[in-house]
Structure 1
């Protein structure tokens, strides 16, 4: 049924049932929400309550038509609103008005290190979802980057729980400002795609609370997220979509989450556990709809007729379904039963420009020896662009984040559009990747068939490079299975399609070379010492080519910083060094505990290829002396850390000043340092600003799993200021009483 837009119209359908003297309270927006929930609940039959707890189509769950309560419509995904699919199939439904703007992948958003970009991202993607009449946007993903092989890392916000939290909170608030529920996912410990549907994760309580839960907790307690999605994997031997400890004890009891828990599609496995252990809406259990030859297969979901039978028999208490329906109604009163939410907008120039801005801020300049970037167009007559990723469509494929877009500006097109007549741009493919991805009936529309041999492509690329004044190689990964793609992990850290060999030959042919990596994961770089410039370009959506061109030619000064560590090799990553990835297909144990990413590199004194928080600029920044306003801090007090930062170069730029905290003596092992603050500041040439961070006891705490509580121990701490986790610019000590 169509969602009704007016409480007045709703009342026309509902009032005749109750008589003119008993107007439904749930339709009266002047009444408190909890009163409206109880009124609506009291009017429902048991059958109507149960119907609200499970899917009725691929992406919708039932309302109560008799009472004028609408259906609830869900939509992927974190980077754009997914195309419409058929009621009972995954295939594209063939609509002509559902081509969205693709926004940068969440790794790119995290690389901005700018919560304002998180708020902008949430606002514009929320507007697109609202215009498309979606009630729940299945985003953002906040699972921690544990291994560079995870095929779904590109959908997440990096390796650090503090950075992830600070970027997720404004994203969620931005989405929900449109009357669309964000659905933070995947709760919890969904850190690999191999065996994701059943692998049981063994992790210490300390690592769970310090590393893997903080972003979810911030989503609930700071952002006020309205819905949450369970994960496919198991924890403590229970699937996370109906996990007693995670959902009932932590989420709903300890964190006071008042929204709805939604199962990941196909993540429900048992009626009793789903009923008792915190799941509210079951989605996607049989993902091909009617294969069971039932009149309606959705009635056979675990929380459908089987649930109803157990409720009627008394095996399950009606209190269980009432709690679920209360949460679903609360979600509806915030979304499709809220008559004052804005209308949204879709596919606009404003949204494209927002995506371009986020992409520009997220692009990371990893290396720039001899200042070969930005490209000096006045001295560069011919630019060679080489590599399949310069032309390959990246918005289709990759799993549930695959999009049907209005347009996607490729890196090659972006450079041609920007450079125009200033320089000649020539292209050579250089290598051939996999066939163009098709997913759910959507095609890239590209024919990348290649009849030439690898040797011929290499020879052409080298010839073009020799004849050019500057070479831009654009490679990396793509959204094909086994790369940056849901459902599988990468086999290794190396670049596919023999790109390493090609890069080695290109740098011999022309020393004026910039390597641009399009990926959502760290990759190995055996050529790092030969290539002068390296740029991490991410999957940047509809305006990807424009954003990249603006950085390469210097219209935009790069200011992105890495949200995860680039190790030299897999052995430098803790999940691989300690031998517990991907597990034995039944269990996986996180032997590294809290030592993930830079925490492990610090502990083992391993030099990364590129550090967490690293990112260069076309200008230079000078950090002054770090100081604290109070050498001794009381348990309920604060310390303010300040540092002056000056732009000593010739270009305007933005710098991310990072605050790490070190506990110099602790009763339990702690990381050498942990990120506890950051600030992105804009500086004109010669300009200086003082950056301040306020530290309270919360920033000093660790989770003591022997006491099952957060603890801040008295002692001496260091406030460490860095331009990355390894580029330390100053320190200041203080004591906690």
Structure 2
């Protein structure tokens, strides 16, 4: 029988065991995990049980050394492993071996529309977390893209619940095969950063279940996530880190979640609610998790001494405590007490290659009039690169996902390296955005100060651009406050720093202008008709410059598709058109802000369809250097029963001259419903690679779940008999074929 003999034996030999430590501890690995959990639980003291439910440092909670239960170490973030900080401070610990690979942010991952890439992503980042001996990776994020002003959209997977759900599952599986728990966040309704601690979301159950919960449900029931992070905001006047309806009623009772609920840092506000409303582990910053207080104040946390005091005074029982500890012990057995978990790897060549591949797969070619791209290096003699984002490091900043990287290849350096001596590459600044480069003590090392006026910068850029064969403007947003950054929303949907004027000037100076927008959010483009070629490049991490250069020169045929809609203006977004964002302060003396989701289920392309507005670029849009021809879609039956599965097949041909990949999208339309429904909803997609002239058949299966809506009066999913359409499309507005069928 395989046993681990733990530290109690040594203490017994030394004659220094307390009454609670008089029995040597054996953890029999032949026993079922649940039995071992009960055994360990029965050996823990009350004080040990309470201690294990809250932090003991910025990113660590205690185990039980006496029983050989190790500490739990958490790490940000969803696209790279955060550098080490001091035990009780946010300052850098000063390690020299905690640099990481920065993977592209999750908007880019979603833009790949490829679950295989999501699995590679999860596996790679999970290996980095495991090598650093982390228990829990605080990610991925799957909050729905409701407003293009949300500063944290870059960390999430877009506007569609189906796409987010299909991409998050393999990410989780990839992470957890390393014995590291994925912590899916932020549960739930955390759709803006302004007033994030005080916003009370008002939403109907139908919208909650159809739009904002499906990706989390997929993460739990299909991805088998081992942990979930509560969000900062309130819902039903309870903070989401201790929310009865979200955590107990839905997460545990309806979905059967058996993992650990972890608070966001400082997301706990009440001991009694933290005890009863589903929270397991409390983390934070200071005494109350939010503001400065006593150093090493972890015993003052809501689930620390205040909890212990209530138990000892007989005001609360220990049933909830034992349930919390069971779940925490289950987490331990799945992670740092699993002797078979692999060792991981850090900054390996495989990880750098994975980061580059993810970036290449996610870059979206939005517009390519006159086939300006790919750049022909056999003809180009001079290439002008303009813009601050061509040189600015993007891995530092953005909030908790800020990273300390082994290296970061800038777009300018990536282009120079790929072009080599085939053409001259010249650079001009064009504009000055944010010249700083530091977050939480991690410094980019760049000095981007420039005292020249906007007029001088534009004049230089135009002069450089006039005689170039190609002009590449690389701009967009950055990771500074009020751009793409935690704890602050954007102030406008347009580009900052006068970039629109720079782009318009360049468009007049050179007809071969390529605009590369680096952002995690949609922007408006008043120059869209003047610029022939537009590329959406995201925050691509360590290999950013290499991935961008590969696409620009045609080494890689772009195949990314937008995971969210680019609206023509902010008034084309339901959350803004209906006037509630960012919420209405209460006049009751509290600091609570009520934010009503007046647009309901009509988010993103659903809103554009309903209002018949033409987006700047639609959800699911993305071009290629080749062309694809769709044949007629065919269904295997015209009438399906409630238990039937309908199969829809469509032939897709590469009608161009080079290999490429197309994302074939399936939407479902309910032609007559008792409740208002979206005109169409994404219910399937498939990324298919085709050689020139090659045809492949893409097949989708449709069950009644794809036809259902959530009836909040019955509190159940309903598929009504009637007529439906299966819509085959290349984007939300590029419809290729329709098949009618009936549900009996």
TM score, norm. by length of structure 1: 0.97
Q: Is the 8 A contact 1:437 1:479 kept in 2?
A: no
Could you give the per-residue CA deviations for residues 292-314 of structure 1, whole angstroms, max 9, x where no partner exists?
Answer: 447x4100000000000111112
- Work out which of the residue numbers 600, 605, 613 in structure 1 matches 2:607: 600
Q: 1:665 to 1:97 in 2, by over 3 A?
A: same
Question: How far apart are 1:198 and its partner, in Å?
Answer: 1.2
Within 1, Cα distance between the matches of 2:12 and 2:720?
61
Aligned residue number for residue 187 of structure 2: 187
Q: 1:552 to 1:106 in 2, by over 3 A?
A: same
Structure 1: give runs of 5+ residues left out of the alignment.
1-5
Aligned residue number for residue 525 of structure 2: 525
Aligned residue number for residue 390 of structure 2: 390
Question: How far apart are 1:580 and its partner, in Å?
Answer: 1.2
Within 2, Cα distance between the matches of 1:21 and 1:693?
62
Could you give the per-residue CA deviations for residues 632-680 of structure 1, whole angstroms, max 9, x where no partner exists?
Answer: 1111110000000000000100000000000111110000000000000
Is 1:718 the equivalent of 2:715? Answer: no
What pairs up with 1:26-175 in 2 under 5 angstroms?
27-175=27-175
Within 2, Cα distance between the matches of 1:653 and 1:732?
26
Is 1:681 the equivalent of 2:712? Answer: no
Question: How far apart are 1:11 and its partner, in Å?
Answer: 7.5
Could you give the per-residue CA deviations for residues 498-533 of structure 1, whole angstroms, max 9, x where no partner exists?
Answer: 000000000100000100000000001000000000
Aligned residue number for residue 406 of structure 2: 406
Aligned residue number for residue 561 of structure 2: 561
Q: Is the 8 A contact 2:6 2:24 kept in 1?
A: no
Within 2, Cα distance between the matches of 1:11 and 1:714?
65
Aligned residue number for residue 728 of structure 1: 735
Q: Is the 8 A contact 1:81 1:128 kept in 2?
A: yes
Within 1, Cα distance between the matches of 2:394 and 2:725?
43
Within 2, Cα distance between the matches of 1:478 and 1:111?
19
SS at match of 2:394: coil
Q: 1:654 to 1:24 in 2, by over 3 A?
A: same
Question: How far apart are 1:114 and its partner, in Å?
Answer: 0.2
Q: 1:293 to 1:729 in 2, by over 3 A?
A: closer
SS at match of 2:44: coil
Is 1:650 the equivalent of 2:657? Answer: yes
Question: How far apart are 1:13 and its partner, in Å?
Answer: 5.3
Within 1, Cα distance between the matches of 2:316 and 2:169?
37
Q: 1:12 to 1:553 in 2, by over 3 A?
A: farther
Q: Is the 8 A contact 1:715 1:735 kept in 2?
A: yes
Aligned residue number for residue 319 of structure 1: 319
Larger displacement relative to structure 2 (278-287 or 586-595): 278-287
Within 1, Cα distance between the matches of 2:253 and 2:332?
22
Within 2, Cα distance between the matches of 1:15 and 1:350?
47
Within 2, Cα distance between the matches of 1:549 and 1:286?
44
SS at match of 2:422: coil
Aligned residue number for residue 509 of structure 2: 509
Q: 1:258 to 1:496 in 2, by over 3 A?
A: same
Q: Is the 8 A contact 2:126 2:180 kept in 1?
A: yes
Structure 2: give runs of 5+ residues left out of the alignment.
586-592
Is 1:212 the equivalent of 2:219? Answer: no
Aligned residue number for residue 633 of structure 2: 626
SS at match of 2:692: coil
SS at match of 2:652: strand
Within 1, Cα distance between the matches of 2:290 and 2:583?
32
Q: Is the 8 A contact 1:377 1:423 kept in 2?
A: yes
What pairs up with 1:284-295 in 2 under 5 angstroms?
284-286=284-286, 292-293=293-294
SS at match of 1:473: strand
Aligned residue number for residue 268 of structure 2: 268
Within 1, Cα distance between the matches of 2:638 and 2:10?
67
SS at match of 2:261: strand
Could you give the per-residue CA deviations for residues 332-366 of structure 1, whole angstroms, max 9, x where no partner exists?
Answer: 00000111100000011110100100000000000
What pairs up with 1:208-357 in 2 under 5 angstroms?
208-286=208-286, 292-293=293-294, 296-357=296-357
Question: How far apart are 1:289 and its partner, in Å?
Answer: 9.9
Within 1, Cα distance between the matches of 2:416 and 2:121?
27
Question: How far apart are 1:7 and its partner, in Å?
Answer: 3.6
Within 2, Cα distance between the matches of 1:502 and 1:450?
16
Q: Is the 8 A contact 1:14 1:66 kept in 2?
A: no
Aligned residue number for residue 698 of structure 2: 691
Q: Is the 8 A contact 1:7 1:339 kept in 2?
A: no
Q: Is the 8 A contact 2:725 2:738 kept in 1?
A: yes
Within 1, Cα distance between the matches of 2:510 and 2:20?
83
SS at match of 1:610: coil
Within 2, Cα distance between the matches of 1:207 and 1:694?
25
Larger displacement relative to structure 2 (529-538 or 699-708): 699-708
Aligned residue number for residue 450 of structure 1: 450
Question: How far apart are 1:435 and its partner, in Å?
Answer: 2.8
- Work out which of the residue numbers 701, 706, 709 in structure 2 matches 1:702: 709
